[in-house]
Structure 1
């Protein structure tokens, strides 16, 4: 297997004529809000981090699997592992740099619990 045989994941192979890279980045940016929707304010930060890592892993595996299936190239685990790390890092940075300061992270966590407290 050569480097040419490894499918380029959307995060790394952003093609301006394709929307896949932009869509991949948008999903990654929204992952912290998704974790906020399925957790509560009392959930430990460690559990939230594991959920975010799991969401990044599922996203990366699905992207790589779809790309490998569409290009008839063997699935490669090394680029997926790198993509998981990059997606997790982007999601953490976006959480602490954008969603938490603007209050969106807290609003996501209050989405399902606010109705119960009324």
Structure 2
């Protein structure tokens, strides 16, 4: 007999870990140091792992297993880092997430010639 069961909490955890790098991009600026972003990603991974495990315990009516939540934080962090460098960064989604709330900037390009050319030739 073969059985296929998926724990809803683990599926939610996997889905959350795929969007964590984008969430870090939303709450940081493009000039934020990579070390700060890594600490934020690790913190988000830990918090979501603990909260997902808490939700699973409350839903099932069982005792909250903090060890399970702490253990799930590591693969969540590793999946998030892998997806950041393997998917979100190469396609530009990480940068777009960071630019989403950034103030727009105006770039002024100078003309190469010192004298502007007339629109109508009068000669």
Length-normalised TM-score, structure 1: 0.78
How far does residue 21 in structure 1 lie from its aligned partner after superposition? 3.9
| 1:109 alignment partner in structure 2 | 98
| 1:74 alignment partner in structure 2 | 63
Larger radius of gyration: 2
Counterparts in 2 of 1:1-118, with a 5 A limit? 15=6, 20-113=9-102, 115-118=103-106
> Which segment is superposed worse, 71-80 or 90-99?
71-80
Cα gap change, 1:19 to 1:28, in 2 (>3 Å): same
Cα gap change, 1:20 to 1:65, in 2 (>3 Å): closer
In 2: Cα distance, 1:28 partner to 1:90 partner? 6
Q: Structure 2: state its 5+ residue gaps.
A: 107-123
Higher relative contact order (CA 8 A, sep 6+): 1
In 2: Cα distance, 1:84 partner to 1:50 partner? 13
In 2: Cα distance, 1:19 partner to 1:72 partner? 15
Q: Which runs of 4+ in 1 moved over 6 A?
A: none
How far does residue 19 in structure 1 lie from its aligned partner after superposition? 5.4
Length-normalised TM-score, structure 2: 0.75
Q: In the alignment, is the contact (CA less than 8 A) between 2:9 and 2:52 conserved in 1? A: no
Give the count of matched residue pairs: 102
- Name the one with the larger helix percent: 1
